[in-house]
Amino acid sequence: MGKAEDFPHASVIEGVRFTAQVGVPNVIQGLFKKRELPTKVAGVARADLFAFTLVQGLVRKYGPGPFWVRVATDEALLLSDPADIEFVLGGSPDPFASDPPAKKAGMSAFQPDALTLSRGDLWRNRRDFAEAVLQTGRPLHSLALRMVKVAAQEAAGLTGEIGYDDLNAAFQRLTRRVVLGDAAADDTALTDLLGDLMAAGNKTPGKPAKGYDDLVARLASYVDAGEKGSLVSLVAQAPHDDATAVAGQLVHWLFAMGDTLPANLVRALAVIGSHPEVRTEVYAELEGKVLTRAKEVASLDYLGGVILEAMRLWPTTPLFGRVTTREVAFPDGRVLPEGSQVLIHNLHNHRDRDRVPFADRCAPGEWARGDAASSWSFNFFSHGPQGCPGAGMSVFLGQAFLAALLSRATPELVSPSLNPSKPLPYGLDLFAVRIGLTS
């Protein structure tokens, strides 16, 4: 049987470059809460391009199989081959747990009880709860009709020229109403508190940040109220006990729906507003649809494909990792010791021209009519047992929100410039996006 040393090693200098060009920019921009100025600077400096180019060169030199690369003071095994990615993600959370030290130290600031940080029986407990409330795998959530209504109401407030902050504020309100109920619609203090805790997570403190107990108490009050039509109304029937830490699970839903999803939606709008062919097909699909009907919203496969393409082209999590819970033998016999870190660079894998024919262009049809959803190269929702339990609901909310918006306005990308006849950039600064909405 092989040993860990049998995997190729990138050089020390290449490790320094990987740290400087891949690791450091992610940290400076904010691992959990994006910092506006550093993000703008990274965009101007084309940090994503340099990160992609470096990883591409390393994969071509040492791949396509796994190889070691130094990140700061430690080595991690970098994956790019879909078969290796499937082996690792298919083996999560054991023997490949999703709580490597840096991630755990950061997320502990604002969601120490997160499903993604859980292992063993506790992971199963919290996963069962999440799947029950989010109704993972169902074609339509039982609350889909109300979600459509809320999405339309919140999208109606966006007019004229908008940016990320405008769309994010509208979607944060939608998120509070969907998760917690209408009573939370104007509870911006809750969202602000979560934002502060996420910003604290950027510093990877390794423990709950000041204010976390207050956040949990506020969420618990909404759970206790269990407003009809909200996700918290489903908690009582879902499997849970004290170990589930229900309020702690809601934190991740608010974080993912209220920050990450709006980032993807503003980028999807940027594509629709700059790609005439995409815009034409989106509006052709909307023609004749009754957008107050949940099934018709869910049938907007091409619009869903635009959202998924925004996630692929500009992943909000460009790099993520796993850590081995015990010694693991890869299919070829090479062995990873317990405690080894494994990295998956989404930005490279999503845009790898050696594997993805549509790597640098927007191709919603690959999701609507092709097999992109089955590819282990695309991991914005992850794959396997730890795939996002709310993935289907997230895309549906995005479809409902954008469909309502597009049904009354035509988007035009004001800035920055995206040319559909040229390879799309590796980064798209959220804070630079401006979109004009014409009725």
3-state secondary structure of 207: coil
Contacts of 121 (CB under 8 A, 6+ apart): none
Q: 434: helix, coil or strand?
A: strand
CA–CA separation, 229 and 209 (whole Å): 31
**pLDDT tier, 436 (very low <50, low <70, confident <90, very high otherwise):** very high
Percent of the chain with pLDDT over 70: 99
* Complete domains list, the chain, with CATH: 12-438 (1.10.630.10)
255-283: average pLDDT: 95
**pLDDT exceeding 90 applies to what percent of the chain?**
91
Pull the structure tokens for residue 319.
Answer: 């790099």
Q: Check: CB of residue 343 under 8 Å from CB of residue 78.
A: yes
Q: What's the token pair of residue 396?
A: 């549906």
**What is the rounded CA–CA span in Å between residue 114 and residue 125?**
12
Long-range contacts of 238-246 (CB under 8 A, 24+ apart): 238/128, 238/129, 238/132, 238/133, 239/125, 239/128, 239/129, 239/132, 240/125, 240/129, 241/125, 243/122, 243/125, 244/125, 244/126, 244/129, 245/113, 245/126, 246/129, 246/220
Considering only 40-44, 261-265, 429-433, which range has the smallest mean pLDDT?
40-44
pLDDT, tens digit, 9 for 90 and up, residues 157-191: 999 999 999 999 999 999 999 999 999 999 999 99
Where residue 2 falls among pLDDT bands split at 50, 70, 90? low
- How much is the pLDDT for 117? 96
Q: What's the chain's average pLDDT?
A: 96
Across 44-48, 128-132, 232-236, 262-266, least confident range: 44-48
More confident residue, 2 or 42: 42
- The answer to whether residues 402 and 167 touch, using CB atoms and an 8 Å cutoff, is no
Would you state the pLDDT for residue 3?
Answer: 60
Q: Residue 1: its pLDDT value, please?
A: 47
- Is residue 41 pLDDT above 90, yes or no? no
In this predicted model, what pLDDT tens digit does every residue of 338-383 receive, in sequence order?
Answer: 999 999 999 999 999 999 999 999 999 999 999 999 999 999 999 9
For residue 408, give every residue at least 6 positions away whose Cβ sits within 8 Å of its Cβ, in sequence order, or none: 156, 439
Closest Cα to residue 168, out of 40, 270, 263? 263
* Cβ–Cβ under 8 Å, residues 54 and 347: no
